[in-house]
Amino acid sequence: MNRLAGVTSPYLLQHADNPVDWWPWEPEAFEEAKRRNVPVLLSVGYSACHWCHVMAHESFEDELVAAYMNEHFVNIKVDREERPDVDAVYMEAVQAATGQGGWPMTVFLTPDAEPFYFGTYFPPEPRHGMPSFTEILEGVRTAWVGRPEEVAEVAQRIVRDLAGRQLDYGKAGTPGPEELAQALLGLTREYDAVRGGFGGAPKFPPSMVLEFLLRHHARTGSEGALQMAADTCEAMARGGIYDQLGGGFARYSVDREWVVPHFEKMLYDNALLCRVYAHLWRATGSDLARRVALETADFMVRELRTTEGGFASALDADSEDPQTGAHVEGAYYAWTPAQLAEVLGEDDAALAAACFGVTQEGTFEHGKSVLRLPQDGPVVDAGVIDGIRRRLLAARAERPAPGRDDKVVAAWNGLAIAALAECGAYFDRPDLVERATEAADLLVRVHMDGRARLARTSKDGRVGANAGVLEDYGDVAEGFLALAAVTGEGVWLEFAGFLVDLVLDRFTAEDGSLYDTAHDAERLIRRPQDPTDTAAPSGWTAAAGALLSYAAHTGSEAHRTAAERALGVVHALGPRVPRFIGHGLAVAEALLDGPREVAVVGHPEDPALAALHRTALLGTAPGAVVAAGPPRAADGSGGEFPLLAERTLVHDLPTAYVCRHFVCARPTTDPVQLAEQLGAVHP
């Protein structure tokens, strides 16, 4: 029976034709395991995961392996992007037991969903000290049949250990200047001053840490913070992790120098980095930052936008090599000198090779190179390089393209909405604001039910079955708040309010800490609760940021207090592990700065209102909230934002009000004065 045929997950659909009798994650699978008295084999991955594909080809497509799995196990396949709660619970067990984790994740469970043996990728035959997957299957089967009491004892002990890992960060106190200064010092110690970024290989783009550094510079004037952010952004933009032809970032670099990426492209990375580069431009006026922000925005719209107006989750790392026909990693992106010459001719190919770091030996595999912009490359007219880029991009488009995971994840679309809305406003690109609005419309229309509860995913306009988790509520609210600031349409503030109210009602513990799942969500062996920011903002810190911004818009003490209590995690973790709480640190910077509340009132058709509004959006004050539109009367009529209530025009001219901690600066009609009040470098 093919139980995966009707699901919405592209990852699960990739496995629908396996000889393995896969089940989706559902109660019936565990009931079947109880009926047959066999263990559950849980396999977790995602569609753009290279090693997930490798293990599938090696093992799950093998008839003999599949037959053994079907006879002795109930096999469940989970898309970690659709069920981050399931992934988080069992990944915590894997990491606790082995000290590491990753995907594919392979976990063996009792019929009560209790884990007793786990790992990640297993090869088809013993390799580098690793047992083969078949050996693992046989060993688990032997233990299950021959030592059932021992298996049950191990499973119960693991569940008890997980239950004892409750977090107590709600009473840690609100982070202050000292904690953020200590976090900056910790980042300085881990900073790679030669290559940019933090730590060694593999090196991940530290998008949320970069946002913290930019906000810290804006609040304190720290040149060191700004330099770390700017140098890291330049190193990444020049490296192979950045697509020098089509824009957009790969998931990470396998080396310290940003040369060779792991080629999958994720929506969340590109949304976060697009916004970081836009904010770097806002702070410095850097031409490189402007170019990368816009190219990344255009990449998302061109290659990830779905027919329904949302944004797809990812592009695969692998694609078909047109020369060999093999499905390999990086085939779409890497070049040899001969391939350059075939497209450009000998002279331009030599120039392109020098500019993009393409060598005869290759920087990747099989003599191929990943395109970069080395610092020591030749100085060439920008128009010439742009022409070469266009020709190579057109030629690359003829290659077999990587697969695309078309599911729309609510949280990641929230991140994309914020990035595109701000880029559109900063760079006079109303088309990007329109794309952001269309994605927001899709989330409201398809993902949000009549009680404003979010579904985690959709595909082809059809909503998925899985409930939204905390990161969905936090990131979508953040996207709506950014869209409200850019468009001046208060309906997006209203929708954000629905979401943050649900955070208070359904995800918040009595001590102010936050859970990843709602109180009425499916019960797992543990209710997941992870405050750390890794590939994307954790639900905890995303929700804290949205609560804080909404409170600044509305004056709500309940939402402000909830944000402050949630930020206790930053007080506890910021000085100790700043790389893993970057978004929380950025939100804490906004808290320390106010955040400032900017109200811009005027007649919508007046160009002077647009000038003040754009200046307000370009202010670098951390986390400042912006409301623009006609004045709002005391009875609530008129303007759509609470911040506009009873704001009057000065001399009948559009006027800006900047307030912070219940104290307001002098109202101004002058964009230059407004820029000074908000710390903007270039209005």
Per residue in 283-295, pLDDT tens? 999 999 999 999 9
pLDDT band at 382 (very low <50, low <70, confident <90, very high): confident
Helix H or strand E segment including 600: strand 597-601
Q: What is the pLDDT of residue 680?
A: 46
Whether residue 1 is predicted with pLDDT greater than 70 in this model: the reply is no
Q: What is the pLDDT of residue 683?
A: 31
Q: Average pLDDT, stretch 41-54? A: 91
pLDDT tens across 160-188, in order? 888 777 666 656 789 999 999 999 999 99
DSSP 3-state of 534? coil
**178 Cβ neighbours under 8 A, 6+ residues apart:** none
Please give the radius of gyration of the chain, using alpha carbons only, rounded to the nearest integer: 26
In 10 A of CB 171, how many CB atoms?
A: 12
Burial, 61: exposed, middle or buried (Cβ in 10 Å; 0-12, 13-18, 19+)? middle
More confident position, 121 or 196: 196
Give yes or no for a contact between 170 and 568, defined as CB atoms under 8 angstroms apart.
yes
Measured distance CA(174)–CA(180) in Å, rounded: 11
pLDDT band at 541 (very low <50, low <70, confident <90, very high): very high
Measured distance CA(172)–CA(462) in Å, rounded: 42
pLDDT band at 495 (very low <50, low <70, confident <90, very high): very high
Q: What is the pLDDT of residue 171?
A: 65
Give yes or no for a contact between 83 and 38, defined as CB atoms under 8 angstroms apart.
no
Between the alpha carbon of residue 382 and those of residues 378, 388, 390, 682, the distances in Å are: 11, 10, 12, 24
Q: What is the pLDDT of residue 5?
A: 83
Q: Average pLDDT, stretch 602-620? A: 95
pLDDT tens across 466-487, in order? 999 999 999 999 999 999 999 9
Query: Residue 50: how many CA atoms within 13 Å on its side-chain side?
Result: 16
Q: Say how many residues make up the chain.
A: 683
Q: What is the pLDDT of residue 99?
A: 72
Burial, 628: exposed, middle or buried (Cβ in 10 Å; 0-12, 13-18, 19+)? buried
Q: Whole-model pTM? A: 0.94
CA 30 to chain centre: 32
Burial, 328: exposed, middle or buried (Cβ in 10 Å; 0-12, 13-18, 19+)? middle
Measured distance CA(459)–CA(10) in Å, rounded: 9
- Which residues is 498 bridged to in the sheet? none
Q: Average pLDDT, stretch 59-74? A: 96
Q: Average pLDDT, stretch 528-549? A: 96
pLDDT band at 380 (very low <50, low <70, confident <90, very high): confident
pLDDT band at 636 (very low <50, low <70, confident <90, very high): low
Comparing C-alpha atoms, which of 455, 446, 452 is closest to residue 411?
455
Give yes or no for a contact between 283 and 620, defined as CB atoms under 8 angstroms apart.
yes
Mean pLDDT of the chain: 93
Whether residue 115 is predicted with pLDDT greater than 60 in this model: the reply is yes
Strand segments (E) across 276-400: 312-315, 318-320, 327-329
Measured distance CA(334)–CA(363) in Å, rounded: 9
Whether residue 308 is predicted with pLDDT greater than 80 in this model: the reply is yes
Whether residue 118 is predicted with pLDDT greater than 60 in this model: the reply is yes
Whether residue 401 is predicted with pLDDT greater than 80 in this model: the reply is yes
**408 Cβ neighbours under 8 A, 6+ residues apart:** 306, 308, 310, 311, 312, 313, 442, 446, 447, 457, 458, 459
